[in-house]
Structure 1
């Protein structure tokens, strides 16, 4: 969904530049000759000179309660997308939770600025059309490192395009859409600042990010209960949750 794209904008820009080691061909990443240079551009230019400085300044001047309200608001306007995708996936319970969250937080929570629903036991359920396609049996497709957008796959990129047509986000004016985009991007990047060392200390940040991305997709596709696999040595659950 649109939210996923914005969250991934923060993911793309965390590590320092690394030398590309000799490696076996990754069948998930047939476009690596394009993806690696794009990753370097995202890190060395977009993050170094734009996103990270803005995120650091944002954290420095914005009180934690205000940041929390920003996250709550952007999550709330994406709730209808969660409802539709949960329904398409046959998850009636998750769809009902998202409907209830949207109604409660849009009213009692003052247009979503306060997450009252979670305090009532209605925890957020993040569903997007990329996950829906996965539930329908469609594979990931090629791994993609997008300029200014971060990691994705052919399936999830298609899902993002579809999710962008879901109300109420389509009802926003162009300036409002730009504002929501900026808020999501900056907050996503700010939330990843404490985890930067994980990428900086990895032997190959590009591969590390790619592996974490695919783990996150598997985690979401199985609603937090993916098939048990051996975790990489540097795996950090808090980092995974923040993507």
Structure 2
């Protein structure tokens, strides 16, 4: 029953998001320092007028008073073996979806590796608490359905800031929904899944602690995070080898400048 309600809620949310994206203009709007609405023109972010307040709420309140302190307490007081084990278990539950998503991309070697990781870690590794698969150089290479869509040419869609969670996009949200339909995610009860997501969230927040100063020192933290998000998505879709995109207009300006000299 809970899984059915969750699925219906996600579908409703995605419908609302897609409707808003279709109704929004391609020109972005934001508030400047004087409180006036200005147009930034980023076609990736047609919902910026909504996303920016969500970002302020997430970064200035949820992260500052909840996520960051919680991750600091968790990493400081959780015994290393327990912390590592819980994180391994949370990642292990994603392996079945990685198997399917690798196959959909015709990455059969990676699919076989994910299969081996899941079988070995779920048995000898005590439901994923330990990671004996790493002894065979079967590294974690988890794939999401959003990456599958990207590989087949589906664009990111509108940039989204999920209140309390952070940056996302329409494609990633659709991908996460599909990944949630795979076994064992589809049969995990609500609270165990919340524990899994909590562990992943705490570890993710702890991992970016050293980069936090870059956000604070940026002229516009919102744009900084947005650009970093899209760069990371592009990096993941191309398995760490994103194509080099040449700005022809900029190249033409440089050529003209060199001709003048």
Band the TM-score falls in, shorter-chain normalisation: 0.7 to 0.9
Cα deviation for residue 146 of structure 1 reads 1.1
Q: Say yes or no: does 1:60 pair with 2:60.
A: no
Aligned match of 1:233: none
Larger Rg: 2
Cα deviation for residue 189 of structure 1 reads 1.2
1:104-123 Cα deviation digits (max 9, x unpaired): 11112121111211221111
Extract unaligned runs of 5+ from structure 2.
1-30, 247-261
One of 186, 203, 209 as aligned partner of 2:225? 209
Q: Say yes or no: does 1:47 pair with 2:63.
A: yes
Report the RMSD for the aligned CA atoms in angstroms: 1.8
Aligned match of 1:120: 136
Q: Is the 8 A contact 1:20 1:204 kept in 2?
A: no
Q: Say yes or no: does 1:224 pair with 2:240.
A: yes
Aligned match of 1:176: 192
- The structure, 1 or 2, with the larger RCO (C-alpha pairs under 8 Å, 6+ apart) is 1
Extract unaligned runs of 5+ from structure 1.
1-18, 231-243
Cα deviation for residue 173 of structure 1 reads 2.0
Aligned match of 1:237: none
Q: Distance in 2 between matches of 1:201 and 1:64?
A: 32
Q: Distance in 2 between matches of 1:195 and 1:67?
A: 22
Aligned match of 1:102: 118
Q: Is the 8 A contact 2:94 2:142 kept in 1?
A: no
Q: Is the 8 A contact 2:63 2:164 kept in 1?
A: no
Structure 1 stretches of 4+ with a deviation exceeding 3 A read: 19-24
How many residues of Structure 1 are paired with residues of Structure 2 in the alignment? 212
Cα deviation for residue 101 of structure 1 reads 0.6
Q: Say yes or no: does 1:153 pair with 2:173.
A: no
Cα deviation for residue 84 of structure 1 reads 0.9
Q: Is the 8 A contact 2:72 2:206 kept in 1?
A: yes
Q: Distance in 2 between matches of 1:58 and 1:29?
A: 34
